[in-house]
Amino acid sequence: MGRRVVVTGLGTVNPLGNSVKDSWARIRAGENGIGPLTRFDAADYPCRIAGELKDFAPEKVMESKDAR
């Protein structure tokens, strides 16, 4: 017998946005979230591009204890 799944909400945090609305708008506009690494110096790595989260504040979506 198959497993049952219940979807109780929709949320996302990804390189295109920190909400469903923002992410979907950027997807529809044909944007992507891939770009040069900015959060650390990647000069010693063979790959210098990634999908980084932008303007994400974990304290807004979880307790600070869990965010650490």
Sorted by sequence, the CB contacts under 8 Å of residue 10 that are 6+ apart come out as 20
List C-alpha distances in Å: 42 to 1, 13, 58, 68: 48, 23, 24, 24
Tokens 């210098």 belong to 48
Mean pLDDT (the chain, rounded): 90
Dump pLDDT digits (tens) for 23-49: 999 999 999 999 999 999 999 999 999
Mean pLDDT for 4-20 is 87
pLDDT score of 13 more than 80: yes
Q: Which helix (H) or strand (E) holds 35?
A: strand 35-36
Provide the β-strand partners of residue 50.
Answer: 35
pLDDT score of 10 more than 80: no
pLDDT score of 1 more than 90: no
pTM: 0.68
